[in-house]
A = this chain, B = another copy of it.
Amino acid sequence: MPVSERALIARIRARARNGPALVAGIGDDCSVLRMPPGTEALVTTDFSLENVHFRRAWHPPEVVGHRCLARGLSDIAAMGGDPTAFFLSLALPARLPQTWVDRFLTGMLRLARQLRVPLAGGDTAQSPGGILADIVVVGSVPRGRAILRSGARPGDLLYVTGELGAGAAALDLLFRSHRKMSPASLRKLRADYPRHFQPIPRLAVGRFLRAHHLASAMIDLSDGLSTDLSHICQESRVGADVYAAALPRAKTAGRGARAQGTVVDLRFALHGGDDYELLFTAPPNKRIPSQIAGVRVTPIGQVTRRRTVTLITPDGTLSPLRPQGWEHFRNRSTQ
């Protein structure tokens, strides 16, 4: 049965949970939030559009809901912030089955519960095209302590959390399947690349780096390392050297004869988007743990005064690392 706009609001409202920060939630002109004293407010908005950021044939509704919220929470993590509440603007085509919406909300609200972020409001509409979601996350950070993109200084070291390239490797296989992936192949792909389907925003890592004054600049890897690093360099007016051999490339989940799993291509780790790991810089005198909140942290290069980004391969070859994440994957996914 398709969803009416009014029924949709009722369903969302019935499944939303209150939190201590929520003075008034769904059901008024605005939501009213009590922000912790001594903090500044963080706000981020992220589209998740059908056939741009996801495809119904590739991404089950729970996955779309999960990724939609994870995108926003990852931005809060990248400031060293704490999420306060989130808002969902959702426009649905008239003929969309009710079960799709229910499963979408299930995936989204499961992640919200895990990370204790209440759904506090949003908007609904009938979509003239595909499924359109816009997620807004409001968070907080102690006054003056947000970790910006602009704080990197020459000499700082460059770090990433987790492993890179799984998102792009999974997307590459999906594209090569020409949209005709069988349910069994899709299941295998989900097992191989869980992080593409259910990325975990690195909130605890971001909070740790902020609380211990460790990071000078930070960004989340949503557009790919080469693109997101160029954002830090641009905002901080610096450059960077990146060591190709140092990059923590993602592996497929190992099983049977391939117990070790397969390491993804270097280009996926360099340019692939949707990893939702954190990229940060820290002064060389700060001791950065090799693991924070159970997540691996790897030094991958350093910040330079010279305002270009250079990739250094093990044989000593230097080549310019240009931002390619955006064009390569984004444009491809909008075809």
Q: Which residues of A contact B (CB under 8 A)?
A: 5-6, 23-24, 27-35, 40-47, 49-53, 74-76, 78-79, 81, 85, 87, 89, 91, 94, 120-123, 125-130, 132, 134, 136-139, 141, 143-144, 146, 148-150, 218-220, 235, 326, 330, 334
What's the Cα separation between A125 and B133 when bound, in Å? 12
The interface residues of chain B lying within 8 Å CB-to-CB of A148 are: 24, 28, 32
Task: Say how far A117's CB is from chain B's closest CB, in angstroms.
Answer: 13
**Cβ contacts A to B, 13 pairs, < 8 Å:** A28-B235, A30-B43, A30-B79, A30-B81, A31-B43, A32-B146, A33-B42, A35-B41, A44-B121, A45-B123, A46-B89, A47-B134, A52-B127
Contact B121–A49 (Cβ < 8 Å): no
What's the Cα separation between A220 and B28 when bound, in Å? 10
With beta carbons under 8 angstroms apart, the residue of B6, B52, B137, B219 that contacts A126 is: B52
Task: Say how far A277's CB is from chain B's closest CB, in angstroms.
Answer: 13
Contact B40–A35 (Cβ < 8 Å): yes
Contact B149–A49 (Cβ < 8 Å): no
What's the Cα separation between A178 and B43 when bound, in Å? 41
With known contacts A24-B146, A41-B41, A43-B136, A127–B29 Cβ distance under 8 A? no
With known contacts A41-B32, A78-B30, A146-B32, A89–B134 Cβ distance under 8 A? yes
What's the Cα separation between A228 and B57 when bound, in Å? 39
**Quick one: closest B residue to A331, CB to CB?**
B126
Extra 16 A-B pairs, beta carbons < 8 Å, given A28-B148, A33-B41, A34-B143: A23-B40, A27-B235, A29-B75, A29-B76, A29-B79, A30-B43, A30-B139, A31-B43, A32-B42, A33-B40, A35-B41, A43-B87, A45-B121, A45-B136, A94-B334, A127-B129
Contact A28–B79 (Cβ < 8 Å): yes
What's the Cα separation between A24 and B138 when bound, in Å? 14
The interface residues of chain B lying within 8 Å CB-to-CB of A126 are: 52, 330, 334
Contact A43–B141 (Cβ < 8 Å): no
The interface residues of chain B lying within 8 Å CB-to-CB of A30 are: 42-44, 75-76, 78-79, 81, 137, 139, 146
Contact B334–A220 (Cβ < 8 Å): no
Contact B49–A31 (Cβ < 8 Å): no
The winner among A23, A51, A143 for most chain B CB atoms within 10 A is A23
The interface residues of chain B lying within 8 Å CB-to-CB of A121 are: 43-45
